């Protein structure tokens, strides 16, 4: 047993409720995740029950306290993070009105069109930093208004998933500004709810919680929550941040010039900014950072490491990833004229097109499996560069270093390809626990364990591998050709998505 003060990060992801304990040196003391399930009651729908989140959080907190062999009193503070954009509706008694509608729910296309019509797309992007997309919270609210009026009439509180957990822990209604910016109801520059957007959508401001910076204390653990979780009553709970903002804190992407690249199933590019910038066409997300008075851009490609996973599972199911990448390492940069478009799941950045499709372009008789593997790695790197190009065109400035994480970051070959395509040094860091780690750091800053987020990151994050820029010449020549392919093939992709060419004639 230890009496050392500990910090607790809680992450409500789509797949699990995670609790993570760290000490003031940043060492992970204990970690536990309780799996969560997803409901898809109708096509395009994605929902979860908030009660399941709470049950999972309670279970995970109790597990880490047991694993660390500590009492709840040793936890100095709690930080929260989790999936963004979800819609949790409560009545005047604080009871849940319906299952939460999640970030990956796609039912709200008509409501997105309505939001653009009411505000004008250009004005919407200028205020919120974002175009109306089905994942965001605002169109979900309109969907409930139009399709479930009896529920809509009972709404008194609107929360995000992690902020429902905050409510269960503290009894109060609050939201961090990084999460709030992802609702499409925020004034990006003012870092608070937008009166203009709320008025245009006829959403009462008193339904929305008070907003806080990511390091601010938003409440304390209630006696009831203490009894069920094992934490001590009165323990501070800080604002925290949406999952990507907390992940960025967890790898130290908290200053302009340092970009976080998460190379998981999807690929996320995250760049901090000192002012509220936005991409004029809304092709990048622009949100508030979890770091006080900072903002960030975010680009998302839907099939990053997922492209390599698909390639291996489909074409080489008995071959280890290391063997595939070893073959690819023997192929010269550029895969001898073979390019891969990584749009296996449609795309989000820079082309918000669910009907985009993947393709190899340039196949010849001389190309082997090794060429195809390398082309997949290079195609994903070009897709990441698309986000970097948008970032710099939107006024981000110089990119000095990329902090890389996720499963794809384990491959030395892929890291070198990325460094060469992007023309910037890549760094792996010691922290691998993701958003929950960043939430714990924010909790420490909020309770004066560290004076600010920069100090927290400096005290806890170490470089483990560095990948410098090598030969960029071939990739500099290939990237413009890659950029030509989607515009040239877009109509073909859409035509091939016709019901005539899909299973059972259903899209």
Set out the domains of the chain in order of their start, with CATH numbers.
6-244 (3.30.420.40), 251-429+462-497 (3.30.420.40)
Strand partners, 296: 272, 287
Task: Kindly report each contact of residues 191-194 with a partner whose C-beta sits within 8 Å and lies 24 or more positions away, as own/partner.
Answer: 191/288, 191/293, 194/127, 194/128
Query: pLDDT grade, residue 413 (50/70/90)?
Result: very high
Q: What does the pLDDT read at residue 497?
A: 83
Q: Cα(200)–Cα(117) distance, rounded to whole angstroms?
A: 10
Token pair, residue 110, equals: 């008509």
504 pLDDT above the threshold of 70: no
Q: At what angle do helices 473-496 and 412-422 cross, to 10 degrees?
A: 100
86 pLDDT above the threshold of 70: yes
Contacts of 316 (CB under 8 A, 6+ apart): 324, 369
Backbone angles phi, psi at 19, to 5 degrees: -125, 135
Q: Cα(155)–Cα(338) distance, rounded to whole angstroms?
A: 54
Give per-residue pLDDT as tens, 245-263. Answer: 999 999 999 999 999 999 9
Q: What does the pLDDT read at residue 3?
A: 67
Q: What does the pLDDT read at residue 192?
A: 98
Q: What does the pLDDT read at residue 2?
A: 59
Catalytic positions: 243
What rounded mean pLDDT belongs to the chain?
A: 95
Per DSSP (E only), the strands in 64-155 are 75-82, 88-90, 100-101
Average pLDDT over residues 18-27: 96
Query: CB-hemisphere CA count at 13 Å for 241?
Result: 34
Give per-residue pLDDT as tens, 423-451. Answer: 999 999 988 888 999 999 999 999 999 99
Percentage of the residues of the chain whose pLDDT score is greater than 70: 98
What size, in residues, is the chain? 507
CA distances from 222 to 236, 237, 241, 353 (A): 10, 11, 21, 46
Task: Kindly report each contact of residues 180-183 with a partner whose C-beta sits within 8 Å and lies 24 or more positions away, as own/partner.
Answer: 180/211, 180/288, 181/128, 181/129, 181/286, 181/287, 181/288, 182/84, 182/85, 182/136, 182/137, 182/242, 182/285, 182/287, 183/85, 183/136, 183/137, 183/138
Q: What does the pLDDT read at residue 506?
A: 42
Q: At what angle do helices 473-496 and 369-393 cross, to 10 degrees?
A: 90
Buried b (16+ CB within 10 A) or exposed e, 363-386: eeeebbebbbbbbbbbbbbbbbbb
Give per-residue pLDDT as tens, 117-143. Answer: 999 999 999 999 999 998 899 999 999
User: Does the model's pTM come out above 0.85?
Assistant: yes
Query: pLDDT grade, residue 336 (50/70/90)?
Result: very high
Q: Cα(463)–Cα(470) distance, rounded to whole angstroms?
A: 20
Q: What does the pLDDT read at residue 258?
A: 94
Average pLDDT over residues 390-407: 90
Q: What does the pLDDT read at residue 502?
A: 65
401 pLDDT above the threshold of 60: yes
Q: What does the pLDDT read at residue 5?
A: 84
């Amino acid at each position: 047993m230890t009496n050392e003060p500990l910090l607790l990060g809680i992450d409500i992801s789509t797949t699990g409720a995670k609790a993570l304990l760290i000490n003031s040196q940043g060492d992970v003391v204990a970690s536990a995740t309780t799996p969560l399930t997803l409901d898809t009651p109708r096509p395009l729908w994605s929902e979860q029950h908030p009660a399941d989140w709470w049950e999972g959080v309670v279970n995970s907190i109790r597990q880490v306290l047991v694993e660390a062999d500590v009492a709840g009193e040793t936890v100095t503070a709690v930080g929260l993070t989790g999936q963004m954009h979800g819609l949790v509706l409560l009545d005047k008694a604080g009871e849940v009105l319906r299952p939460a509608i999640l970030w990956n729910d796609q039912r709200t296309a008509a409501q997105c069109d309505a939001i653009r019509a009411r505000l004008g797309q250009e004005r919407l992007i200028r205020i919120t930093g974002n175009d109306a997309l089905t994942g965001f919270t605002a169109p979900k609210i309109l969907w409930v208004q139009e399709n479930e009026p009896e529920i809509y009439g009972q709404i008194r509180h609107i929360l995000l998933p992690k902020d429902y957990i905050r409510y269960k822990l503290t009894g109060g209604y609050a939201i961090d500004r990084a999460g709030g910016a992802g609702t499409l109801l925020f004034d990006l520059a003012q870092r608070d709810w937008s009166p203009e957007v709320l008025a245009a959508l006829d959403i009462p401001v008193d339904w929305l919680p008070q907003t806080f910076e990511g390091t601010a204390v938003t409440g304390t653990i209630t006696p009831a929550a203490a009894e069920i979780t094992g934490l001590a009553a009165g323990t501070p709970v800080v604002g925290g941040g949406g999952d990507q903002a907390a992940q960025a804190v967890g790898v130290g992407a908290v200053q302009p010039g340092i970009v976080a690249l998460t190379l998981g199933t999807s690929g996320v590019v995250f760049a901090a900014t000192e002012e509220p910038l936005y991409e004029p066409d809304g092709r990048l997300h622009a949100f508030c950072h979890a770091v006080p008075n900072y903002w960030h851009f975010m680009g998302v490609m839907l099939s990053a490491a997922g492209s390599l996973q698909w390639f291996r599972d489909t074409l080489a199911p008995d071959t280890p990833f290391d063997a595939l990448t070893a073959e690819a390492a023997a192929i010269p940069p550029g895969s001898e004229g073979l390019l891969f478009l990584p749009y296996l799941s449609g795309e989000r950045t820079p082309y918000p097109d669910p009907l985009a499709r993947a393709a190899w372009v340039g196949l010849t008789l001389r190309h082997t499996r090794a060429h195809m593997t390398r082309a997949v790695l290079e195609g994903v790197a070009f897709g990441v560069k698309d986000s970097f190009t948008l970032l710099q065109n939107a006024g981000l400035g110089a990119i000095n270093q990329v902090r890389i994480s996720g499963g794809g970051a384990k491959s030395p070959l892929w890291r070198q390809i990325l460094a060469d395509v992007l023309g910037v040094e890549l760094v792996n860091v010691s922290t691998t626990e993701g958003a929950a780690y960043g939430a714990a750091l924010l909790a420490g800053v909020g309770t004066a364990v560290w004076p600010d987020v920069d100090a927290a990151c400096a005290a806890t994050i170490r470089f483990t591998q560095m990948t410098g820029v090598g030969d960029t010449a071939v990739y500099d020549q290939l990237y413009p050709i890659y950029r030509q392919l989607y515009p040239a093939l877009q109509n073909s992709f859409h035509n091939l998505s016709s019901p005539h060419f899909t299973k059972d004639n259903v899209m």
